[in-house]
Structure 1
């Protein structure tokens, strides 16, 4: 089968087409004929070697999100041939990343595609949606409390805002001027200008600081002053924070959600109910993965870039 990956780590040009053996599902697993794959920042780390090699040999295949049609099932699988599903994948694992024609995974890594989405849009939901749920769980806020969000105009930030508003939180989000309308439309109660002084701008709205902050922009120490004493700082970049602040630090690890079937199905319902709004920036043939990575790393994409097979 066709897989898009790297034999040697490097820039976008390292991504090439490889012919590899077709995988087959084992007990409690299913295989989908991949139709669409979302391109995310994690993919660039796989490509460049930022996540290492694990115990595996090249090609190293990126991709954590896919949508497609079940075409083979293992013993005891709950899926049936012809089911349309969206799935999370784990690069540098036994089943590998999602930039492939055929992806095998455990039943729990998949859920049905929302009835109101096509394959391209569905592929953008699993990984970022699961990361948003995990981040909000770590924040641990009650309705009426205040959540600050950096990187609000990105896909993860989008999902965090929409889920936070659904949970009854007051949301303060950052945005460049060109993205202000988008972030306001997501439901943010307050939108502040992004930049190194974002904490000051947040404190201008909540002088004592936000109850929690989800740092999707990975601003780390620059965003920390926005959090009140006793509050929570949730890092997407796995920043541990200084021991000098009375703040609880959490580090999102979406890899732990690989078998979170209940959460995946919750995301499906959220999309169908209009709580979550997936956005596709552009769709490119899988063979143009290099161009997709260049566009992603160039910044400015609103919504996910998608590769189609």
Structure 2
């Protein structure tokens, strides 16, 4: 089967589509035939060797790329139950010890990393849900804000940010969305009460003009760090999506680091919301596996909207 791998860390040019031995599902695992797989910033830092350099991945000759997948169950491993061959599923590969990623024709995942795919939602869109949806939901869990509290979401037009806005509104939070000037109408349509434009002025000042005293919490999907922290009130809460960009807990602000983890129950709930039209999923350009390098180049383009998706 074909899989996207790197043998040497570096830029998009290091991505290779190689013929590799098909993976075999072990006990409690599923073999999934990939129909679509999202491409995310974490894939770029994996390719560049950042995760290996930080000690999060063991050195290996070949590193597989890809975190989330939408596809069809091909085979069940020993003792695996709860899914049927031919069933549409979505899943998250959060185990960095696995040799191959989800950017492959066949993917093996543990049962507790998989949920039914959203009914009626094309696989290209469904593939954008696991990593971004779980990250957004788990960040909101860490913030633990009560209904009626105010929340700043930076990078609100991105994959994590857009889902965070929608999930926050469903929790009864009042959202300040930050994005490009052209994003205001779409973000308000997702439920954002206020909007601040990127590059239109100092972020904390803009936010505090809308929410005097500062917001109760911030979900920093744009990795702005201390710039976003300035918009949070004293003793508020801050969810950092990147360890290297997590600010110090100044002014008594509780800073939580988000380390996404597979959660089949949460993923199933997200899938049900998407199936019912309660979550808007935004797929970006759709490219074949052979053009994985181009998908990674698209990740770096300013103003990118929607998650690039690879298909077999």
Residue matched to 1:23: 23
Residue matched to 2:235: 230
Distance 1:160 1:119 in 2: 21
1:213-255: per-residue Cα shift (whole Å, max 9, x none)? 011111111111110111001111124422542100001111x
Q: Is the 8 A contact 1:60 1:92 kept in 2?
A: no
Three-state SS of the structure 2 residue aligned to 1:100 is coil
Q: Is the 8 A contact 2:37 2:127 kept in 1?
A: yes
Three-state SS of the structure 1 residue aligned to 2:91 is strand
Residue matched to 1:218: 223
Three-state SS of the structure 1 residue aligned to 2:64 is coil
Distance 1:279 1:240 in 2: 27
| Structure 1 unmatched runs, 5+ | none
Residue matched to 1:242: 248
Q: Does 1:188 align with 2:188?
A: no
| Structure 2 unmatched runs, 5+ | none
Cα 1:84/1:6, change in 2 over 3 Å: same
1:91 offset after TM fit, Å? Answer: 6.2
Question: Which of the numbers 104, 110, 119 marks the counterpart of 1:106?
Answer: 110
Distance 1:151 1:17 in 2: 31
Question: Which of the numbers 266, 290, 311 marks the counterpart of 1:308?
Answer: 311
Distance 1:17 1:219 in 2: 34
1:1-309 to structure 2, matched below 5 A, reads 1-52=1-52, 54-78=57-81, 79-90=83-94, 92-94=96-98, 96-195=100-199, 197-238=202-243, 239-254=245-260, 257-258=261-262, 260-309=263-312
Distance 1:95 1:290 in 2: 19
1:266 offset after TM fit, Å? Answer: 0.8
Report the RMSD for the aligned CA atoms in angstroms. Answer: 1.4
In the superposition, the TM-score normalised over structure 2's length comes to 0.94
Q: Is the 8 A contact 1:66 1:88 kept in 2?
A: yes
Q: Is the 8 A contact 1:95 1:105 kept in 2?
A: no
1:95 offset after TM fit, Å? Answer: 5.2
1:30 offset after TM fit, Å? Answer: 0.6
In the superposition, the TM-score normalised over structure 1's length comes to 0.95
1:110-137: per-residue Cα shift (whole Å, max 9, x none)? 1111112111111100010000011100
Three-state SS of the structure 2 residue aligned to 1:174 is strand
1:282 offset after TM fit, Å? Answer: 1.4
Cα 1:273/1:82, change in 2 over 3 Å: same
Q: Is the 8 A contact 2:62 2:99 kept in 1?
A: no
Three-state SS of the structure 2 residue aligned to 1:51 is helix
Q: How many residues align?
A: 306
1:92 offset after TM fit, Å? Answer: 3.4
1:146-196: per-residue Cα shift (whole Å, max 9, x none)? 011111110110000000111111001112112222211111000011236
Q: Is the 8 A contact 1:90 1:96 kept in 2?
A: no
